[in-house]
Structure 1
Amino acid sequence: MTPSIVVGVDGSPQSLQAVDWALEEARHRALPVRIVHVALRWEYSAAAPPEPGLEASRPEAAALNVLELAEEHARTHAPDVDVSTSLGIGHVPRVLLEEAADAVILVVAARGTGAFSGIMLGSVSRQVAEHAPCPVVVVPHHPDPEPRPAEVVVGVDGSEASMDAIGFAMEEAALRRVGLRAIHVWEHAAYPPAMRPASYGDLSIEQEAMRVLAESLAPWKSKYPTVPVVEQVVQGRSPAEALSGATVRASLLVVGARGHGGFPGLRLGSVSHAVLQQAQGPVAIVRPRS
């Protein structure tokens, strides 16, 4: 299948904002958009006669109506983008992951209604972010969306996951012709100042943080020499707090699925999960390439 940007919809205004993000991204990448709606299997467990004037039974008619409204919204707001639709039936995250098998990016809303009713962030959004073969962009709901500042932000910790996140963030900044802000967060050691080793010092740790940031960015700066980069070292705040705060001024925040720390079996790290919960702007979760 042709590579595309896949976006999940459920009939809610929140999911239409995800469609808007996917359409904008499609323009940057010159790619088509495939809009996917997943109907829960239980809706089809009981036979339902067609509604008057409809050839399809009620559950299928309702699902098709969600897709038709989303497609109409897309064609109205982006007539220049090639748009198609797909109806799935079954477990929502599983079907979205199957649809994303050939996707460049999978886009979902942070929360929704309809087929996602009652399923909070940490279920659909978290599951697709944990398992998707492509970057996943989670778009939070903003009742009165305003143009966001032209800046892409990426979290850097020196891990393999953050290296892939930097690559995706650099690509996004280049496509959008904007600057990149790379943030590395460091914290004091867990023990009190009086108990720290004599060799411990804020200056030496900050220098090490700057080294990690510079070395992580170096290969990507060479690949994307036209992207202006701001290197920012943040001290005294948790990584999730610092990165979530950056979403206020970013058009997109990019983080790795799992960085340093945590347990090897975890697919989505505590920082990336916390950022998804707290973010005020779109967040891209990037898993290491396999």
Structure 2
Amino acid sequence: MSETAPSTTSQPTAGPVVCGFDGSRDSLRAVAWAASWARDHGVGLEVISADRAVGRVVAFDETARANVEGAMRDQVADQVGDIDATYRVIADTPVRALLEAGRNASAIIVGSRGLTAREDFAMGSTSAGVVEHAPCPVIVITPRTPDQPGHGSIVLAADGSKANDPAAAFAFAEAERLGTGVRAVHSVEVPKLPGASLFDLDRLAESVLAEDEKDVTEALAPHDERHPAVELELILVVGEPAVTIAEEAAGAPLLVTGSRGHGGVAGMLLGSVSRRLLQTAPCAVAVVRPTD
């Protein structure tokens, strides 16, 4: 008897793309990306600003609402262009406001840092909270994200786990839309065992990679079959996963990762590799979580 597959956040819906805006440089870049995403995917754009004090005022004063939302529209006019967008000020925390709006969204796009984040903070509290709990894919625009996406293959952080399956589905769907390929990167970090020689460690790494290659290939096979026009390239490397995957993402239009992998546990909503990639990736990072 066949079982019903668990639902995932991997397949974009027809809902709008939701973007958080707080006036910061990163949020302006996120709005520009969100406008391009809306145009390319044929969906609407919803720009959200969350402020409890201002939100309470505009909730009861239509003139104030029109003024505040008009000011938002003016601030992002260059980024939005001719996209049909809606603007909302919500009396709540940014994380809760974006998560609520994300219930019916095809994606949420945020900057990695806001106005209150220090320059040496690689990931702000809002982007972290949204990534960890969002009901749809979240695309984080980091300070290292170029203004124009690269033209290479989409890079997928692949580990062969079931938790990674929604991310793989998302990566293949986006690659097909863009007419490009998928570079699935699997990285293994070999522990430094006391007394082990470099030769022993190399042999251990080769053994682990050979075993993992089978798991990753089997996990990607259904997606490869569903998207015959997408060329799949499997990259197996030895090294710290977050570092090696980020290096492979140079020139990519998007890096896609799951929220947890083999080492993920229920209490860790965002895995260590995914969190590091949000800090080190040279392009936009899409985090795709399963809903089950």
TM-score range normalised by the length of the shorter chain = 0.7 to 0.9
Specify which of 265, 270, 283 is matched with residue 268 of structure 1: 270
Deviation at 1:277, TM superposition (A): 1.6
Q: Percent identity?
A: 33
Deviation at 1:82, TM superposition (A): 2.8
Contact 2:31 2:80 in 1 (8 A): no
Contact 1:158 1:216 in 2 (8 A): yes
Specify which of 64, 69, 72 is matched with residue 75 of structure 2: 69
Q: Show CA shifts across 1:250-282 (max 9, x none).
A: 110000011111432111111111111222210
Q: Show CA shifts across 1:228-264 (max 9, x none).
A: 11110011x1111112223322110000011111432
Specify which of 199, 210, 214 is matched with residue 211 of structure 1: 214
Query: Does residue 7 of the first structure (1) align with residue 13 of the second (2)?
Result: no
Specify which of 33, 39, 61 is matched with residue 21 of structure 1: 33
Q: Name the structure 1 match of 2:46.
A: 34
Q: Name the structure 1 match of 2:153.
A: 151
Q: Show CA shifts across 1:159-217 (max 9, x none).
A: 1221111101011111111111000111224524638999x644332211221221111
Deviation at 1:64, TM superposition (A): 4.7
The gaps in structure 2 that reach 5 residues or longer are 1-12
Q: Give the whole-Å Cα distance in 2 for the aligned partners of 1:230 and 1:242.
A: 16
Specify which of 211, 227, 232 is matched with residue 229 of structure 1: 232
Q: Name the structure 1 match of 2:167.
A: 165
In 2 relative to 1, CA 191–176 (structure 1 residues): closer, same or farther, beyond 3 Å? same
Contact 2:55 2:92 in 1 (8 A): no
Q: TM-score, normalised by structure 2?
A: 0.83
Matched letter for residue 73 of structure 1: D
Matched letter for residue 233 of structure 1: L
1:77-92 matches, cutoff 5 A: 79=82, 81-92=83-94
In 2 relative to 1, CA 8–174 (structure 1 residues): closer, same or farther, beyond 3 Å? same
In 2 relative to 1, CA 143–26 (structure 1 residues): closer, same or farther, beyond 3 Å? closer
CA RMSD of aligned residues (A): 3.0
Q: Give the whole-Å Cα distance in 1 for the aligned partners of 2:14 and 2:211.
A: 44
Contact 1:34 1:84 in 2 (8 A): yes
1:186-201 matches, cutoff 5 A: 186-192=188-194, 194=196, 201=204
Q: Name the structure 1 match of 2:64.
A: 56
Q: Name the structure 1 match of 2:257.
A: 255
The gaps in structure 1 that reach 5 residues or longer are none
Q: Show CA shifts across 1:103-141 (max 9, x none).
A: 01000011122xxx2385241111000101001000013
Deviation at 1:43, TM superposition (A): 5.4
> How many residue pairs are counted as aligned between the two chains?
273
Contact 2:30 2:141 in 1 (8 A): yes
Q: Give the whole-Å Cα distance in 1 for the aligned partners of 2:286 and 2:166.
A: 12
Matched position secondary structure for 1:204? helix
Q: TM-score, normalised by structure 1?
A: 0.83
In 2 relative to 1, CA 87–262 (structure 1 residues): closer, same or farther, beyond 3 Å? same
Deviation at 1:84, TM superposition (A): 1.6
Contact 2:158 2:164 in 1 (8 A): yes
